[in-house]
Chains A and B, each alone.
Chain A
């Protein structure tokens, strides 16, 4: 592979760590570039990122354009946009993919407007038509419907939701080219980053076990049951939107279209009926176990295992049994 740049992936990093969505974009980008018969490129901006640039190759990039400059260390939308636009004008990719993260959603529109090209937000899938044009698939109206969108201008730009695409397996024997590009730093962007602090909180997107509750929960204090179960399983508590809207639990626990997309090994849905907007956020979990009183609840249809029953009967029993398992284990160790 080589020659013309077919797909350019924005390799978002924060504190020198590449966001996982980038590897997913490279996975999909690889596929699109192969179909176009062109190369897959990535653009990485920051400082001291030689190792990270190699990682991008291990995950599928043919060429990594590396802008290394101390003043690119932190995300400054104007500096990033300026250099990306310059690169795009020289390598002329057919397609630009950006993670639909907050950084990506702040940067991509500025790049698109500067290039006077179309941008489709929050795609969940991408494909090519016969002419090699990008078909962008995104949810609309809270995930109730899907829309296919095409862009008449080049490059065709899309932001892509996290946890929607599959990364390639890391392959350190993969070969690619790292092109160091001199960064142009505009003198005064009008933006001065005075400081940066860790926002803390949980990261439900990365959790392997999620114990989620919905409207079936009667009182906010009953979330303690979920927390206890989650902690016994080494998991995180998730929630459908009604509980978040009711102020019972903070927004970072929300799974669904307007919250987080998750893909844990096991997703427990306790008293969640399964609105399209919730299913959108968790339907790719490896195993879904639903507990619901209503046999007609949509969640049942997407679950691997389901229980028609009361979460108030099931959870305490599970907690009881898990504690027994735990104490048996520690006993064995003694």
Chain B
């Protein structure tokens, strides 16, 4: 089985600070890590390969430093990795990103299954997976929490929608996006990490992908959405009445507030 895992390198989101005075993001203390959801995607892929055999290919689009995330993927069990990197890929919104990733998947040739994380922690759109599926013309299932069975030609998954779990059979090739509940990503062994450090990772650029896709849909030029303004949300301040006194008094005042608002009889 040929499995492709889409991976993104993201800033360590907890360490991105916002400078409210200057009105901008400060990423200086944030390192770069693999999008945590993508580790679940990779683990799902490796588990399938362990069961039915095949090849797991990790693909990432990003600046050259994103190669670190692909090394991480190799250490955790991917068989090979490809980086899509070119200045003309930069500035892509979800549509252009999905288009470019889909082009790379087509260039790889035959594949059975594409696995993505539910979303990325920086963009937080959850759009790229389903858009890739559309560009590839294959069925998809989002928010997959369990893979029940996989055989030649199909996969059975359990996906969480609003109020329900859907049990679905997808014809392969297909794409799934997975949640954090699907598995616990394994730790790489030191040996695999050291081996991954020495593995070659091919880099595909604009020219490589222009052979099979229309380059006008790449990067910033191919992105229909534009961020026109970024600002700090003005949190509406409320009147903020202090309730003071002993716990007894505080409690009685809260009950009174609840009564005034007809929460309590």
A-side interface residues toward B, CB under 8 Å?
14, 19, 74-75, 77-78, 81, 101-103, 105-110, 112-114, 116-122, 135, 139-153, 188-199, 209, 233, 265-266, 276, 279-280, 283, 286-289, 300-309, 313-314, 316-318, 320-322, 325, 329
Contacts and interface: CB of A to CB of B under 8 A. Distances in A.
A302 B237 contact: yes
A293 to B, nearest CB: 13
Given A119-B225, A139-B233, A113 B135 contact: yes
A149 B167 contact: no
Interface of A, secondary structure class, is mixed
Contacts of B124: 121-122, 140
Contacts of A140: 124, 230
Given A146-B233, A192-B168, A309 B250 contact: yes
B258 A266 contact: yes
Contact of A145 (B122, B166, B233, B252): B233
Nearest 10 pairs of A and B residues by beta carbon: A118-B224, A190-B139, A113-B134, A121-B125, A190-B171, A109-B130, A118-B225, A106-B142, A109-B127, A153-B224
A150 B160 CA distance: 31
A58 B210 CA distance: 50
B232 A193 contact: no
10 contacts: A77-B139, A106-B141, A121-B94, A121-B123, A151-B224, A152-B226, A198-B164, A266-B261, A306-B242, A317-B251
Contact of A102 (B128, B142, B223, B265): B142
Given A118-B93, A145-B230, A314 B251 contact: yes
A304 B252 CA distance: 16
Nearest to A197: B165
Contacts of A322: 255
A305 B243 contact: yes
B225 A120 contact: yes
Contacts of B239: 304
A305 B134 contact: no
Nearest to A196: B164
B166 A113 contact: no
Contacts of A287: 257, 261
B193 to A, nearest CB: 26
B187 interface: no
A236 B133 CA distance: 38
Contacts of A119: 94-95, 127, 225
